[in-house]
């Protein structure tokens, strides 16, 4: 029976941990849904990034603890919460040298006399203004606006914009492979292999609460955005387009923002850039409303 801690009590008390299962979603969201959104701690993100099946979960009071393999293949630990943050961090740091991906709203509650707190720019998350994106307004987004308009004109009457997750599911991997076949992706995103992540997303499709925007040229899917609505906005989990359709990314972003705006969503988190030069330039090009800063945390030894 779940006690006064709520659903998170279903997770073991740290230092005990358990492998993440799809049924852990209510426990994770009992913590994350009462706090500002952080893509690294979102359940869907945790689930689809667990491509090596090594992610583990625990709790410390009402705080969520996650141990996972990062994109550099290192095993790291993070946590999120609002209950006795300093002592929770100290307990975790008794078991690991450093905590990763700690969002600013948690890090700011850690006393600097007890902890060394270092900004990790590569993990900062980009938060976009949905209303501005829905119109691609302003001089700074003019190129995207022109590209979106051009793509829509070229596709013409064959253009369909759909928001049915089940209709999209079947074509997502094929679209991903067409996107990846573009030689520029190797330069822009390095050796990052996202296909296993997309495969996990598709496999767990019906267990996750997904929102989508899909662009079709007749019956051919040429761009898709897989998102999730969270209490304070939306998080983008997969955003791909067939770049043989010039301007398809711009048209996709505008179409997604129009849909989110109609749902009353004001902010879209498009996650971090991992320090990849091309990805950083691309995400900065959307003129983020703000950045959710992330930190690495160590215990002070002096």
pLDDT at 1 over 50: no
- Distance, CA of 106 to CA of 167 (rounded, Å): 39
Residue 1 lies in a domain: no
Residue 283 lies in a domain: no
Residue 93 lies in a domain: yes
Residue 276 lies in a domain: no
pLDDT, tens digit, 9 for 90 and up, residues 253-293: 999 999 999 999 999 999 999 999 999 999 999 999 999 99
Q: Are residues 227 and 166 in the same domain?
A: yes
Q: Are residues 146 and 172 in the same domain?
A: yes
pLDDT, tens digit, 9 for 90 and up, residues 205-253: 999 999 999 999 999 999 999 999 999 999 999 999 999 999 999 999 9
Q: What is the pLDDT of residue 3?
A: 42
Number of domains in the chain: 2
Q: What is the pLDDT of residue 170?
A: 86
Residue 69 lies in a domain: yes
- Distance, CA of 45 to CA of 14 (rounded, Å): 21
pLDDT at 21 over 60: yes
Q: State what percent of residues in the chain have pLDDT above 90.
A: 89
pLDDT at 17 over 60: yes
Q: Work out the mean pLDDT of the chain and round it to a whole number.
A: 94
Q: State what percent of residues in the chain have pLDDT above 70.
A: 95
Q: What is the mean pLDDT of residues 193-197?
A: 91
Residue 226 lies in a domain: yes
Residue 281 lies in a domain: no
Are 95 and 65 spatial neighbours (Cβ–Cβ below 8 Å)?
no
Q: Are residues 136 and 242 in the same domain?
A: yes
Q: Are residues 104 and 208 in the same domain?
A: no
pLDDT at 186 over 70: no
Nearest alpha-carbon partner for 236 in 186, 288, 161: 288
* Secondary element (H or E) of residue 107: helix 104-107
Q: Are residues 132 and 267 in the same domain?
A: yes
Q: Are residues 102 and 139 in the same domain?
A: no
Q: What is the arrangement of strands in the sheet containing 56-60, beginning at the earlier edge strand?
A: 18-19, 56-60, 63-69, 75-80, 99-103, 294-299, 115-119
- Distance, CA of 227 to CA of 213 (rounded, Å): 8
- Distance, CA of 251 to CA of 133 (rounded, Å): 10
pLDDT at 91 over 90: yes
Q: Are residues 129 and 262 in the same domain?
A: yes
Q: What is the mean pLDDT of residues 26-48?
A: 97
**pTM for this predicted structure:** 0.93
Q: Are residues 85 and 163 in the same domain?
A: no
Q: Are residues 114 and 150 in the same domain?
A: no
pLDDT, tens digit, 9 for 90 and up, residues 104-153: 999 999 999 999 999 999 999 999 999 999 999 999 999 999 999 999 99
Which structural domain, as residue segments, surrounds residue 239? 125-271
Domain of residue 42, CATH code: 3.40.630.30
Q: What is the pLDDT of residue 192?
A: 65
Q: What is the pLDDT of residue 252?
A: 98
Q: Are residues 178 and 220 in the same domain?
A: yes
């Amino acid at each position: 029976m779940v006690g006064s801690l709520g659903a998170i009590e279903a997770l073991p008390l740290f230092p005990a941990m358990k492998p993440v299962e799809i049924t852990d979603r209510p426990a994770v969201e009992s913590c994350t849904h009462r706090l500002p959104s952080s893509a690294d701690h979102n359940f869907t993100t945790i689930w689809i990034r667990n491509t090596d099946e090594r992610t583990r979960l625990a709790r410390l009071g009402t705080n969520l603890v996650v141990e996972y393999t990062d994109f550099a293949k290192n095993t790291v630990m993070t946590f999120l919460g609002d209950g006795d943050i300093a002592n929770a961090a100290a307990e975790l740091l008794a078991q690991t040298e450093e905590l990763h991906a700690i969002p600013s709203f948690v890090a700011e509650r850690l006393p600097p006399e007890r902890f060394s707190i270092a900004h990790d720019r590569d993990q900062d998350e980009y938060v976009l203004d949905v209303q501005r994106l829905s119109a691609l307004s302003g001089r700074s987004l003019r190129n995207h606006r022109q590209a979106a308009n051009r793509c829509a004109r070229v596709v013409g009457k064959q253009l369909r914009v759909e928001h049915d997750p089940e209709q999209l599911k079947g074509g997502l991997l094929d679209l991903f492979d067409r996107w990846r076949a573009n030689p520029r992706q190797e330069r822009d995103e390095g050796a990052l292999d996202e296909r296993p992540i997309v495969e996990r997303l598709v496999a767990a499709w019906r267990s996750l609460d997904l929102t989508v925007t899909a662009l079709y040229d007749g019956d051919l899917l040429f761009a898709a955005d897989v998102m999730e609505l969270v209490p304070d906005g939306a998080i983008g989990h997969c955003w791909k387009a067939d770049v043989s359709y010039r301007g398809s990314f711009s048209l996709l972003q505008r179409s997604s923002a129009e849909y989110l705006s109609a749902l009353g969503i004001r902010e879209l988190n498009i996650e971090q850039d991992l320090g990849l030069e091309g990805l950083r330039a691309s995400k900065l090009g959307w003129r983020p409303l703000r950045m959710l800063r992330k930190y690495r945390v160590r215990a002070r030894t002096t």
